[in-house]
Structure 1
Amino acid sequence: VMVLDLVANTVIDSITVGRNPEQLIALNGKLYVPNSNDNTVSVIDVATNKVTATVTVGDGPRTVVADQSGNIWALGTGFTVYNSSPPYNIISSTPGSLTRFAAGGTSAQLTLPFANTSVSKLRISPDKTLLYYSYNGAEYQMSTTATALPNTPFLRRSFSGFAIDPRDNTIFAAVSTGYTTNGRFLRYPAAGGAAIDSFTVKVGPNGFVFY
């Protein structure tokens, strides 16, 4: 993890974490960094730029969010190992998982395994009470107080971009149809169900910013 001085545009420090850090979030003076090529989240004290804890989670953590109770959720995609020569068969795999731990803690409170590795894109609602993730070609919604994974999808399709409007929790979703054709933008009500509306956008839509 590199520490930047945005006034001088220089790197002023570097912090060694686990293998292939993917993302980070800040909460109460700490940074939480998922290390996607192992099974850990590094915790960094921003006052000292030092790693103060390493929390073991599921294999392949790529995204983390913080909920309304100050807990950290880490979504692991699992690992898949392929043969190095054609036809590149799968040698071994571990399933994805969703892990919760306290922001000040050093061990997992709850680990929820998936059946396979097709889980990705953990997000949280603006009020930090609902988790969203992509799994098996659908979007799922889960309360941060739940202790089991939901069985029924929230929306029965997958998206290249997904966000929640902080004003009214309307779902904004994007569908990319490739790198040479226009994509689609859709809006869904907060409770899910049929789309409110949709329209064509340019090539490769993959995210939203609310300002």
Structure 2
Amino acid sequence: MLAGTKGAAAQGAGREIRLLMLGDSITAGYGLARSEGPPARIQALLRDRGRNVRVIDAGVSGDTTAGGRARLEWALADNPDAAIVALGGNDALRGLTPAQMRANLTAILDGLAARGIPTLLAGMIAPPNLGADYGRDFAAVFSDLAEARPDMVFYPFLLEGVAGDPALNQADRIHPNPRGAQVLAERMLPAIETLLDRAARSAPG
């Protein structure tokens, strides 16, 4: 039996696993019905694989990493067993400095680590119009945080396979349409299952 299958069997047989997704409008499913957004799609895929998981949608449209940092305590009220951090896109759209983003993400990840919550960090890519230097420094924030935290699961680009494809995005070319949200969930699924298996191993008892 594969390790992932073992993890799925254990989680399917046991209590419900709570997976927090802390993000912005991508997580919140801007322009979509709640059942069409990434959290709902991820939850459906996990349950199809036998995992008793509830994905907690903590996405707020327009949120920057500073906003996520400010509401972390509120987001943790449901006592999640694991967390996905999917922030940063609005920092780039607003031209906030990578140094600010690094400080905010560090604080979020430190807060989760202090509570023993296994975490997946989803990276973002800055728009090319902000320049090559900004784009390089922006991307380095995510890769540096991942390198410094080997126990954390890293998914380099939240919109991998979706960004830039008109067939998978709404008219604004930023937010996934229903099919795009499904592709996002399918692409992320292996990394999320790795996260859940780590959460199962670290759970008491």
TM-score normalized by the length of structure 2:
0.26
Higher strand fraction (1 or 2): 1
Q: Which has the higher helix share?
A: 2
